[in-house]
């Protein structure tokens, strides 16, 4: 169950970061409230996932996949340009996250 919650937390992290971009562009109170609400949800989900997973593993997955997800979503949704090397480094982040998961004792 902790893995499912962590997956939802990663998704919420991506949505949170994208909502910050939207709030910066729109600059309305309605757009500004979304990242605040998502922040509370995001932290609660991460904390819940950490009940069943080591903090180092959960945080590495949450931040790593969140960063990769935001970069890809930013390129798709906001037409942000990514250099080819950035895709390679994002792949390295994913490899690192998988490595953290595989090397974690008792985190199956």
Structural contact between residues 42 and 62, judged by C-beta atoms closer than 8 angstroms: no
Q: Examine residue 54 and state whether it is found in any structural domain, yes or no.
A: yes
- What pLDDT does residue 30 have? 86
Q: Closest by alpha carbon to 35, among 22, 48, 44? A: 22
Total domains present in the chain: 1
How many Å apart are CA 20 and CA 8, to the nearest integer?
18
- What pLDDT does residue 31 have? 85
Q: What is the pLDDT along the chain (108 residues), one digit of tens a residue?
A: 999 999 999 999 999 999 998 888 888 888 889 999 999 999 999 999 999 999 999 999 999 999 999 999 999 999 999 999 999 999 999 999 999 888 887 655
Q: Examine residue 108 and state whether it is found in any structural domain, yes or no.
A: no
Structural contact between residues 67 and 13, judged by C-beta atoms closer than 8 angstroms: no
Residue 98's domain comprises 2-103
How many Å apart are CA 79 and CA 103, to the nearest integer?
36
Report pTM: 0.88
């Amino acid at each position: 169950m902790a893995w499912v919650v962590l997956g939802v937390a990663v998704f919420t992290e991506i949505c949170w970061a994208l909502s910050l971009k939207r709030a910066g562009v729109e600059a309305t109170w309605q757009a500004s409230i979304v990242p605040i609400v998502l922040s509370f949800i995001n932290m609660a989900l991460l904390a819940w996932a950490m009940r069943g997973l080591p903090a180092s593993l959960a945080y590495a997955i949450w931040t790593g996949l969140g960063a990769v997800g935001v970069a890809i979503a930013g390129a798709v949704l906001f037409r942000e340009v990514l250099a080819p090397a950035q895709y390679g480094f994002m792949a390295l982040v994913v490899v690192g996250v998988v490595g953290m998961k595989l090397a974690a004792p008792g985190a199956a």
